[in-house]
Structure 1
């Protein structure tokens, strides 16, 4: 069987993705969102970056 590739994120500030398999065989991934030299609206609150939603 052939397995195709599919983009899960289209932004340039999604990196450091971690993928793992659950005991039931499901595959999951989560990524860090944000770049250190970029200004974000949350900077005013002393917060920069976030974790993505978990992808299944």
Structure 2
């Protein structure tokens, strides 16, 4: 998510596309044992996070 945000990705579909396009690069930093998550999965996972926690992470 961080790399996609820095690349001006605007939505979950673009984030999934970005991940597929940069999959080899991303594998240097994270394990993708089950492949790239779908845009629906990204939306569900980040929808479960509390916004306050994400804001705190960005402030550091």
Query: How would you bin the TM-score normalised by the shorter chain?
Result: under 0.3
**Structure whose alpha-carbon radius of gyration is higher:** 1
TM (norm. structure 2) is: 0.25
> Which structure has the highest helix share of the two?
2
TM (norm. structure 1) is: 0.26
